[in-house]
Structure 1
């Protein structure tokens, strides 16, 4: 689907995938690339969702870069990923914020209605930047009582595995208010390939079900749930883990 096929006033549900490609991922980027490609193909099984959902992929290590601009799944080609460098969460947060603001302005300029963005954050390590939470809050925080802050705050879902601390993942799940709270996932499994496939399956299912809700005329983010047998703990923002 090209931009010229979008109809005026159409709802677009944007999904952003923030992927850790620091040096600790050097042995896993092949499986990660395959898992992301499989996720895109799964979404494409529903052509109606392809008209309503857009995806973007941002990679990060000590810096961050948008490698797949926000596009319909049918227009996406996932490039081969390469791992190097350190792990800056803040670089990923800043890059997402930059591109989302540009994407939102572009889509609104085309007459589209842009739903709240959903961000999935995949990492296998602890943040190398000690001020990552300050960066996160300065960019995304919103106070529902005073209505101050980022009114377009993302629905943020961190997936941590291998060396990513569970408490850090819990701290990034957002929002921590309202009826649809952010969720976090954490796995200590040494079967990284299986975890990556399970995580991208969760992401694909969330994009599909959320897009289908828009097609039914009642758009909403469907909270992600673990796949059967997924070796991971998960929980809601501000709540207990399961």
Structure 2
């Protein structure tokens, strides 16, 4: 959302923004899933339109990754985004997606603060159908997102990071990037769950989490409200509520 959008849609100085990022695997193995991803994003966009109380509060951005990573839909009000179908090809470089997400988050934070917003801790949903093809992905994740509260070292603005996997993705791999570690949660589709079913369940989880989180702002105590279950998925345990306004 640019400055004109802020003026046009009535945002006031000091308003709270809750950033959500969707980081979507577009490697070669996802080539048959892109139509389902596109449909899921369009449905999520419609749910945002149908919930005007959270339309401006919860800004959403989409990043894609394969051998490289890029911003596909800049962070903003998803209601006004142009959503086109993504292409697919290349490898599954987790580390590159982490680096681009961190850079994007930092830039978005600076932009929102310069516009006078208060910014809530971001939440990132990571979607993949397989394991990483790069070797240093765990180190890269730690470099970009780990934070030590005792020493104040690392990324204080780390996101709530929720990975989803299906097809060849493994829960023991994705659990390593569920963040923060105390209360982090990862999801992997059960055997027999098709890619289409998995993506629909993920979309429903995203919509429920984004809308429920946005509605907490009216209570005066904003927090992440993460959906409890996702049909057709196994998950690690988590009750971390999230929070923090910057």
Interval of TM-score (by shorter of Structure 1 and Structure 2): over 0.9
- Measure the CA separation in 2 of the matches of 1:140 and 1:237: 18
Aligned residue for 2:220? 217
- Measure the CA separation in 2 of the matches of 1:183 and 1:40: 24
Q: How does 1:131-150 map to 2 (within 5 A)?
A: 131-150=136-155
In 2, are the aligned partners of 1:23 and 1:83 still within 8 Å (CA)?
yes
Kindly tell me the number of residue pairs found equivalent between the two proteins. Answer: 234
Aligned residue for 2:236? 235
Q: How much has 1:94 moved relative to structure 2? A: 0.8
Which of 180, 204, 212 is residue 201 of structure 1 equivalent to? 204
Deviations along 1:127-151, whole A, 9 cap, x unmatched?
Answer: 0011000000011001122222111
Secondary structure in structure 2 of the residue aligned to 1:69: strand
Q: Does 1:27 align with 2:32?
A: yes
Secondary structure in structure 1 of the residue aligned to 2:64: strand
> Given the superposition, is the C-alpha separation of residues 149 and 238 from structure 1 closer, same or farther in structure 2, using an over 3 Å criterion?
farther
Q: How much has 1:215 moved relative to structure 2? A: 2.8
- Measure the CA separation in 1 of the matches of 2:112 and 2:54: 17
In 1, are the aligned partners of 2:171 and 2:235 still within 8 Å (CA)?
no
In 2, are the aligned partners of 1:162 and 1:189 still within 8 Å (CA)?
no
In structure 2, list runs of 5 or more residues that go unmatched: 241-246
Q: How much has 1:71 moved relative to structure 2? A: 0.6
Deviations along 1:188-218, whole A, 9 cap, x unmatched?
Answer: 4351101101011101110000000013321
Deviations along 1:159-210, whole A, 9 cap, x unmatched?
Answer: 0110111111111100023xxx221101143511011010111011100000
Secondary structure in structure 2 of the residue aligned to 1:236: coil
- Measure the CA separation in 2 of the matches of 1:224 and 1:24: 28
- Measure the CA separation in 2 of the matches of 1:50 and 1:189: 35
Q: How much has 1:225 moved relative to structure 2? A: 2.3
